[in-house]
A and B are shown apart, each in its own frame.
Chain A
Amino acid sequence: GQNIDQPTEMTATEGAIVQINCTYQTSGFNGLFWYQQHAGEAPTFLSYNVLDGLEEKGRFSSFLSRSKGYSYLLLKELQMKDSASYLCAIMDSNYQLIWGAGTKLIIKP
């Protein structure tokens, strides 16, 4: 079967760092995506990893270990606007996205 796990909810403080983990088991793998979704809006693309390692984009970084079926999204210098759901998705062998349930990130002042 195919399974993607990520924490349901996390809380962090403005200005701090938070790491959102994603573990997966899928029958095919063509990359892992992280998306940000604010309430009531469509997801927006954050990152794509297909090779092992860390990809850094400004305040956001994403890490992938294919052998461990593990990824994380690292958010630095948290801002209040970062309060959103963060969705981990795997692209399978048919180039379709298999979605995790999302992690709701709450930022406190």
Chain B
Amino acid sequence: GAVVSQHPSWVICKSGTSVKIECRSLDFQATTMFWYRQFPKQSLMLMATSNEGSKATYEQGVEKDKFLINHASLTLSTLTVTSAHPEDSSFYICSARIPGLAGGIQETQYFGPGTRLLVL
């Protein structure tokens, strides 16, 4: 199946610093990528929808100035957590959408392996 990678897989940083997480679709082009956050024992929470070449759409309650999303190419989206604080510590997961085509490709989303962020 399609492969989505994330880098880094683990990051530990000091409070106040910024952290950039990359999400890449390795063998397909993704016009739409999604960023999720998952706290322990909770469901995935959609943070934002990233469309190539346009501004990301953020979910209610997600600060767009704090979580900067850039989708500069069809295979790369980045999430930058600016001025990170301990409450931002979480598991960040991206997914890339393959739209369904009648009689052909099945609609689905492929997930990256996730990035664990720990802010001290």
Residues of A within 8 A of B (CB): 30-31, 33, 35, 41-45, 48, 50, 87, 91, 94-97, 99-102
Q: Evaluate contact between B44 and A41: CB separation under 8 angstroms.
A: no
Residues of B within 8 A of A (CB): 1, 32, 34, 42-46, 49, 93, 95, 97, 99-100, 106-114
Give Cα A99–Cα B37 distance, bound, in whole angstroms.
Answer: 12
Q: Evaluate contact between B109 and A97: CB separation under 8 angstroms.
A: yes
Q: Evaluate contact between B113 and A42: CB separation under 8 angstroms.
A: yes
Q: Evaluate contact between B46 and A42: CB separation under 8 angstroms.
A: no
Give Cα A52–Cα B110 distance, bound, in whole angstroms.
Answer: 23
Contact residue among A33, A91, A96, A100 (Cβ-Cβ distance under 8 Å from B43): A100
Residue of B nearest to A94 (CB): B49
Query: With A87-B43, A95-B32 known to touch, is A42 a contact of B114 (CB < 8 Å)?
Result: yes
Q: Evaluate contact between B32 and A43: CB separation under 8 angstroms.
A: no
Give Cα A43–Cα B113 distance, bound, in whole angstroms.
Answer: 8
Q: Evaluate contact between B97 and A99: CB separation under 8 angstroms.
A: no
CB distance from B90 to the nearest CB of A (A): 13
Q: Evaluate contact between A87 and B107: CB separation under 8 angstroms.
A: no
CB distance from B107 to the nearest CB of A (A): 6
Taking CB atoms, residues of chain B closer than 8 Å to A43 are: 44, 93, 111
